[in-house]
């Protein structure tokens, strides 16, 4: 397999928008900034294939040669995200139908049906043309298929394929009726032909959850097929080069664990909102590292400056792009790629930041900041590539559960999966305790602590595996609206939380869901050692009967005042914590503090609040990333044997890290 020889630095470049002279100038600027890789031609299909089967590759070949003459590699994009207008016109089946039943017309990107035969045929033919031309080009570093897949389609082709998909899964209409409990509202079918795609034409806002969930699985499968349609062709020509696609930062729409099984390397586009909590970007990075069980991943896009599509497009503050890019490296990325290299002169994204701005030269703040990074990353060479994160905390993250929680009619419209996960993740992130994101069926045994926030739907034998894990000495922390349903969104009967009742040692009789202005308080039971006596809690309130569990906190108000809302249960050699409401962050932080103490979890290097610290290891080296997110300098006490990974200068003892600054420190480990 291809060995990545450097941290890739560069990003999307759209030379099809520029003349020769500008392109020549760009080469100079790329060299100045130490760019080592560009992604192109993401939107070049219409230029490469002006009419069906007629190809014009000369311009692209010239640019790829020019890049290589300047020592720059290419992550070659099959530009299949935006089919040419002639194709939509000639083969209208290529265009998607939306959830409202509207047949879309040509004009937008990612505006094609994943299941369209014609689309797949033409996309594979284009991939073949590209691969046959560039397979042996020395600049080629890998393939980037399409761009941010994920348009839902409800066209007749998808309708027919969905029926086939259901038939394969459920065999008979009776099997389907049973699995989905279609006796509800008399929806039974007697032939698969009677099954419609879930659109706004046949359903209202209370979409029938199992149909929706299967539609989302079906869409994931369709996208996988669509990706593989090109993957197969590309691999035939370049079996050793990585083939991937860049996933959108908005990650709910496809089961990315499933999709990523089919990619050689995970790629994602990181666009944090300017004012969001920094733990969210960290969580997303960790999710990406989790998608291939800890394998390092690529950040394929991030913005070198403000975006154009946010309501307020805040400039990136001095040092911010470096801090965000290095946060990626800190969590497991092997690239720092940006959208985009040169800012477009027109079009929707003309005001989207770029390394080369409309000014067109290098005398800009952003160009200087990019150049500094380019120089630094060049000095890292390939030493960091493939380094792994070691973690004793695992967090189970499941797309099917995400869909199920948010498709659910009740108990509260405010319940969203990602914010719940983020709260529990944040408590450990702020303490710099590394967290691995785990697939629902991954082995739990190597972890000291497993987090399963809001794990409403328990798939497969997860419930049993959690029991075994705790019995053998593991610690579990789970939270409200967990363990309630199994696959196909069927409630586990016999008392909540069915799937976790035994291990948690509780029975939840009912769950109250109050509007935001009616929140409650949780009072800590004396002697539990929590810093505060009481905390706010909101949204959901389980009415818990302990069945062996110890009560940590009780409600202060409502008719269930005095009933438990947080518990811990000794089970086998381990213990299982439960939080039956949505507490304020400081409670979760205090709980995390207690659990870290019990389980002996510590950060790679102790650091003050607001300073992020992670570690990645290769066979013979450890890399420490220390990121000061604060507005003021921070003191960090460094262990012996560390040196700046860029300059080799030793760094140990008490050191001051400037506001917003990042250190990447390296330590050689004894063989």
Minimum distance from CB of 474 to Zn ion (Å)? 44
Query: Cα 167 to chain center, whole Å?
Result: 31
Tokens of 117: 């035969």
Pick between residue 251 and residue 393 the one whose CB is nearest to ligand GLA: 251
Query: Are 156 and 247 spatial neighbours (Cβ–Cβ below 8 Å)?
Result: no
Q: How far is the CB of 111 from ligand GLA (least distance, A)?
A: 14
The CA–CA distances, whole Å, from 373 to 300, 519, 662, 667 equal 16, 47, 11, 21
Shortest distance in whole angstroms from residue 79 CB to ligand GLA? 11
Of the pair 315, 518, the CB lying nearest ligand GLA is at 315
- Nearer CB in complex with ligand GLA: 148/436: 148
Of the listed 301, 430, 502, 612, which one is catalytic?
301
Pairing type for strands 243-244 and 246-247 reads unpaired
- Least distance from C-beta 346 to ligand GLA, angstroms? 14
634 lies in the binding site for Zn ion (CB under 5 A): no
- Binding segment for ligand GLA (CB under 6 A), chosen from 193-201, 299-307, 509-517, 629-637, is 299-307
Per-residue contact string for residues 133-162; x = within reach of ligand GLA by CB under 6 A: --------------xx--------------
Q: What does the buried/exposed string (b/e) look like for 73-83 if buried means 16 or more CB atoms within 10 Å of the residue's CB? A: bbbbbbbbbbb
| Member of 39, 113, 123, 291 binding Zn ion (CB under 5 A) | 113
CA distance 297 to 294: 9
> Which positions ≥6 away from 291 have C-beta within 8 Å?
256, 257, 260, 266, 297, 437
Q: Which does 40 bind (CB under 5 to 8 A by kind): Zn ion, ligand GLA, none?
A: none
Instruction: Kindly state whether residue 489 participates in binding ligand GLA, applying the rule CB under 6 A.
Output: no
**253 lines the binding site for ligand GLA (CB under 6 A):** no
The CA distances from residue 147 to 151, 211, 466, 633, in Å, are 11, 27, 37, 40
Closest CB to ligand GLA among 110 and 514? 110
If one asks whether residue 484 binds Zn ion (CB under 5 A), the answer comes out as no
For ligand GLA, the binding residue among 339, 424, 496, 625 (CB under 6 A) is: 339
CB atoms within 10 A of CB 232: 12
**Of positions 26, 221, 269, 512, contacts ligand GLA by CB under 6 A:** 269
Q: How far is Cα 299 from Cα 242, in angstroms, rounded to an integer?
A: 14
Residue 356 contacts residue 343 (beta carbons within 8 Å): yes
DSSP character at residue 99: T
Residues 158-217 binding Zn ion (CB under 5 A) are 158
Shorter beta-carbon distance to ligand GLA: residue 203 or 349: 349
Residue 302 binds to ligand GLA (criterion: CB under 6 A): no
Q: Which residue is nearest to ligand GLA (CB)?
A: 269
Residue 49 site contact among Zn ion, ligand GLA, none (CB < 5 to 8 Å, cut-off depends on kind): none
Using CA atoms, how far residue 320 sits from 305, 370, 400, in Å, is 9, 11, 34
CB 497 → Zn ion: shortest distance, Å? 38
Write the CA distances from 481 to 12, 343, 407, integer angstroms: 42, 46, 14
Q: Is 367 in the site for ligand GLA (CB under 6 A)?
A: no
Phi, psi of 316 (to 5 degrees): -70, 130
Candidate ranges 6-14, 21-29, 147-155, 196-204; the one touching Zn ion (CB under 5 A) = 147-155
Q: How many residues bind ligand GLA (CB under 6 A)?
A: 10
| Closer Cβ to ligand GLA, 79 or 574, answer by number | 79
Between CA 93 and CA 185 the distance in angstroms is 34
* Whether residue 464 lies in the annotated active site: no
Q: Is 301 a catalytic residue?
A: yes
Least separation, in Å, of the C-beta of 156 and Zn ion?
8
Q: How far apart are CA 127 and CA 233, in angstroms?
A: 7
Instruction: Select 316 or 467, whichever has its Cβ closest to ligand GLA.
Output: 316
Residue 512 makes contact with ligand GLA by CB under 6 A: no
Which of the listed partners (Zn ion, ligand GLA, none) does 155 bind, with a CB threshold of 5 to 8 Å by partner kind? Zn ion
Of 20, 21, 121, 148, which one is the catalytic site residue? Answer: 148
Tell me if 664 sits within 8 A of 645, measured CB to CB.
yes
Q: What is the dihedral of CA 146, 152, 158, 163, to 10 degrees?
A: 130
Which residue has tokens 């080296």? 621
Q: Would you give the distance in Å from CA 383 to the centre of its chain?
A: 25
Q: Does 78 bind ligand GLA (CB under 6 A)?
A: no
* Nearest residue (CB) to Zn ion, 224 versus 539: 224
Q: Binder to Zn ion among 155, 299, 377, 539 (CB under 5 A)?
A: 155
Nearest to 567 by CA among 639, 473, 661, 482: 482
Specify the residue, 149 or 663, whose C-beta has the smaller distance to Zn ion: 149
Question: What are the strands, taking DSSP E only, across 388-474?
Answer: 393-396, 435-438, 449-452
Q: What is the binding site for Zn ion (CB under 5 A)?
A: 113, 115, 153, 155, 157-158
Q: Where does this chain bind ligand GLA (CB under 6 A)?
A: 147-148, 269, 271, 301, 303, 307, 339, 349, 352
Hey, which residues are catalytic here? 148, 301
């Amino acid at each position: 397999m291809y060995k990545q020889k450097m941290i890739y630095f560069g990003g999307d470049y759209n030379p099809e928008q520029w003349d020769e002279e500008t392109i020549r100038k760009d080469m100079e600027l790329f060299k100045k900034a130490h760019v080592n890789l560009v992604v192109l031609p993401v939107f070049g299909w219409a230029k490469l294939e002006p009419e069906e089967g007629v190809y014009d590759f000369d311009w692209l070949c010239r640019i790829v040669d020019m890049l290589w003459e300047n020592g720059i590699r290419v992550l070659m994009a099959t530009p299949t995200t935006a089919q040419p207008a002639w194709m939509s016109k000639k083969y209208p089946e290529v265009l998607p139908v939306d959830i409202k039943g509207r047949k879309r017309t040509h004009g937008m990107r990612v505006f094609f049906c994943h299941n369209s035969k014609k689309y797949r045929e033409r996309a594979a033919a284009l991939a073949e043309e590209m691969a046959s031309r560039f397979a042996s080009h020395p600049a080629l570093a890998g393939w980037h298929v399409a761009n941010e897949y994920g348009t839902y389609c409800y066209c007749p082709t998808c309708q027919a394929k969905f029926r086939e998909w259901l038939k394969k899964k459920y065999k008979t209409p009776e099997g389907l009726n049973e699995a989905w409990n279609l006796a509800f509202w008399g929806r039974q079918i007697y032939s698969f032909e009677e099954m419609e795609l879930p659109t706004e034409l046949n359903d209202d806002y209370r979409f029938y959850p199992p149909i929706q969930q299967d539609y989302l699985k079906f869409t994931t499968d369709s996208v996988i097929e669509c990706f593989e349609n090109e993957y197969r062709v590309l691999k035939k020509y370049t079996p050793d080069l990585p083939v991937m696609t860049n996933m959108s930062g908005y990650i709910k729409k496809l089961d990315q664990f499933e999709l990523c099984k089919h990619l050689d390397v995970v790629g994602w586009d990181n666009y944090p909102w300017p004012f969001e909590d920094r733990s969210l970007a960290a969580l997303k990075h960790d999710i990406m590292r989790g998608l291939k069980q800890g394998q390092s991943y690529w950040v394929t896009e991030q913005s070198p400056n403000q975006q154009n599509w946010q309501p307020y497009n805040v400039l990136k503050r001095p040092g911010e792009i470096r801090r965000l890019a290095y946060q990626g490296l800190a969590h497991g990325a092997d690239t720092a790629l940006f959208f985009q290299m040169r800012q477009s002169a027109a079009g929707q994204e003309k005001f989207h930041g770029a390394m080369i701005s409309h000014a067109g030269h290098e005398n800009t703040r952003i160009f200087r900041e990019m150049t500094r990074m380019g120089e630094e990353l060049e000095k890292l060479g390939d030493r960091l590539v493939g380094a792994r994160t070691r973690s004793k905390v695992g967090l189970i993250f499941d797309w099917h559960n995400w869909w199920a929680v948010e498709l659910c009619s009740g108990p509260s419209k405010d319940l969203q999966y990602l914010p719940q996960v983020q709260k529990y993740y944040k408590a450990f992130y702020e303490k710099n305790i590394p967290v691995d994101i785990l697939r629902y069926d991954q082995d739990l045994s190597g972890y000291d602590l497993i987090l399963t926030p809001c794990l409403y739907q328990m798939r497969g034998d997860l419930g049993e595996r959690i029991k075994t894990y705790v019995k053998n000495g593991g610690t579990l922390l789970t939270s409200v609206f967990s363990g309630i349903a199994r696959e196909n969104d069927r409630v586990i009967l016999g008392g909540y939380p069915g799937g976790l009742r035994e291990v948690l040692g509780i029975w939840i009789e009912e769950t109250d869901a109050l509007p935001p202005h009616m929140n409650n308080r949780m009072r800590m039971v004396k002697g539990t050692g929590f810093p505060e006596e009481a905390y706010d809690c909101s949204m959901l309130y389980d009415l818990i009967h302990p069945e062996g569990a110890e009560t940590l906190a009780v409600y202060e108000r409502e008719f269930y005042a005095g009933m438990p809302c947080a518990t811990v249960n000794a089970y086998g050699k381990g213990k299982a914590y439960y939080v039956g409401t949505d507490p304020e962050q400081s409670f979760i932080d205090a709980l995390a503090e207690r659990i870290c103490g019990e389980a002996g979890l510590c950060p790679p290097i102790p650091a003050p609040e607001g300073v992020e610290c992670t570690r990645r290891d290769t066979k013979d080296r450890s890399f420490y990333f220390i990121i000061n997110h604060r507005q003021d300098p921070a003191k960090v006490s460094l262990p012996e044997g560390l040196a700046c990974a860029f300059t080799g200068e030793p760094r140990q003892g008490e050191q001051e890290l400037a506001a917003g600054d990042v250190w990447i420190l390296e330590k050689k480990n004894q063989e």
